[in-house]
Amino acid sequence: MAPVAAVTRWRLLLVLSAAGLGAVGAPKPPNILLLLMDDMGWGDLGVYGEPSRETPNLDQMAAEGMLFPNFYSANPLCSPSRAALLTGRLPIRSGFYTTNGHARNAYTPQEIVGGVPDEEHLLPELLKGAGYASKIVGKWHLGHRPQFHPLKHGFDEWFGSPNCHFGPYDNRARPNIPVYRDWEMVGRYYEEFPINLKTGEANLTQVYLQEALDFMKRQQAAQRPFFLYWAIDATHAPVYASRPFLGTSRRGRYGDAVREIDDSVGKILRLLRDLRITENTFVFFTSDNGAALISAPKQGGSNGPFLCGKQTTFEGGMREPAIAWWPGKIPAGQVSHQLGSVMDLFTTSLSLAGLAPPSDRVIDGLDLLPAMLWGQLTDRPIFYYRGNTLMAVTLGQYKAHFWTWTNSWEEFRQGVDFCPGQNVSGVTTHTQEEHTKLPLIFHLGRDPGEKYPLSFASPEYLDALRGVTLVVRQHQKTLVPGQPQLNVCNQAVMNWAPPGCEKLGKCLTPPESIPEKCSWPH
């Protein structure tokens, strides 16, 4: 049976089964677990070459499943990347960018009043069509205000926070970040959920683990397919770990956090075995963006051989660790050279559920099932956006940079360095350098560190340029950006302003303070 025909038949049987119309023995929709780490780098796992070899469970997961060495986030920062995963669309399409500055990164701190638009269809909402129960555990990061709540966008359950564990704050000018169970605020970071910044001790990963295990047990008991989005943040600075893991890593506190995550993933997979549902459960492990080298080495990870890290569109900022695991379905011990993206998890999950992606909008994610089940590779570009600016594109093994920039000279002189120890002349620039007429092109197979651009006059450069130019023209010709959600007090999101907040409906640069009544209710 041809791969495409097999996938079509698979979808049909799953749809019939979900509707109760399938023949006896027809496959039931598999459970789906997406394990999304925060600021974890490509080089943080033993299977990717980390020399301490402190991730035995994730390494075993890779040995039993499939490794993707060429897997990418959709943005070098957390909120846009997470929006892309759950919508299957580039962040610029859903409005997860800012126009406050050219090539400016943005996310959803307390000062931002935007979030995921109502017209976007998120993965848990669509999976309801196949009977799935869904839960998010951990970091949401797609908006603070009530209309952006995860349960308003398809999730049945939530335990976690609208933001990262920043703080502590004084609870006067700014409150500590709240933690929710579904609609109820059950505490705040640094208060009911303590984090000791001095020692790094926090029990959050254990809490998040138990939430995941309990959810899986309940859904299996109910014989209902489930979708678990486990979006924990222990590897985001300030990194933390529970007491049994503190001081156990050769890599310091960051390594302690990684070891606890690895142990937790091992317990999740062990429960699937104990419940005897491994062959009906698809698990995918990855990260939202590259390691934050600005926090390294004590509070940040490793991007392996790649250039720079989080916040940049060099490989270290957007190439991620990625492991697919589905015993009995995905052949064990395989490496796929498919160019993959977090957006593919949206389309692949729908395919697993027997559902087609929405047809009324552009979906950027690919279905990875042909690559995972039969080794069938699909040619596709990877677009690297920073804000609403297309910075680079990879096609095959060639990556073309249209803009280069790390961060400003002002920030750099203050000690903010996105590429410590990795200066590449003319590439890791501190001014925004335009290369749209003659892009800098690298062969990532020979030069994964992006140190040696191809000669402009070489036949190889000209051939690569022709292919890249065609892809970019096609992309930009049909691109319709969504209304920006990450501007400070952007008018596009002020339609929902509470009384007394209407005057905030303007773009402010630099950010000004926002009254507490105009942000997420606490």
78 labelled ligand-binding: yes
E-assigned strand segments in 327-439: 334-335, 340-341, 381-386, 389-395, 398-401, 403-404, 433-434
H helices of 275-408, in order, are: 315-318, 344-352, 369-374
Catalytic annotation present for 501: no
H/E segment holding residue 14? helix 3-18
Question: Which residues lie closer than 8 Å to 31 by C-beta, 6 or more apart?
Answer: 216, 219, 225, 226, 227, 228, 277, 280, 281, 282
H/E segment holding residue 80? helix 78-87
**DSSP letter string over 422-455?**
---TTTS-SS-EE-SSS-EEEETTT-TT---PPP
Question: Which residues lie closer than 8 Å to 359 by C-beta, 6 or more apart?
Answer: none
CA 387, 35, 169, 506: dihedral to nearest 10 degrees? 30
CA–CA separation, 222 vs 501, rounded Å?
45
Which residue is catalytic, options 78, 164, 308, 518? 78
CA–CA separation, 261 vs 230, rounded Å?
11
CA–CA separation, 212 vs 119, rounded Å?
29
419 labelled ligand-binding: no
| 348 close to 329: Cβ distance less than 8 angstroms | no
| 398's tokens | 């060639």
CA–CA separation, 253 vs 255, rounded Å?
5
Which residue is catalytic, options 102, 121, 141, 501? 141
39 labelled ligand-binding: yes
156 labelled ligand-binding: no
β-strand partners of 284: 34, 324
Q: Is 222 exposed, middle or buried (0-12, 13-18, 19+ CB in 10 A)?
A: exposed
β-strand partners of 185: 180
262 labelled ligand-binding: no
Q: Torsions phi, psi of 15, nearest 5?
A: -65, -45
Catalytic annotation present for 419: no
Residues annotated as part of the active site: 78, 141
As annotated, the binding site for Ca(2+) includes 38-39, 78, 288-289
Instruction: Extract the annotated binding site.
Output: 38-39, 78, 288-289
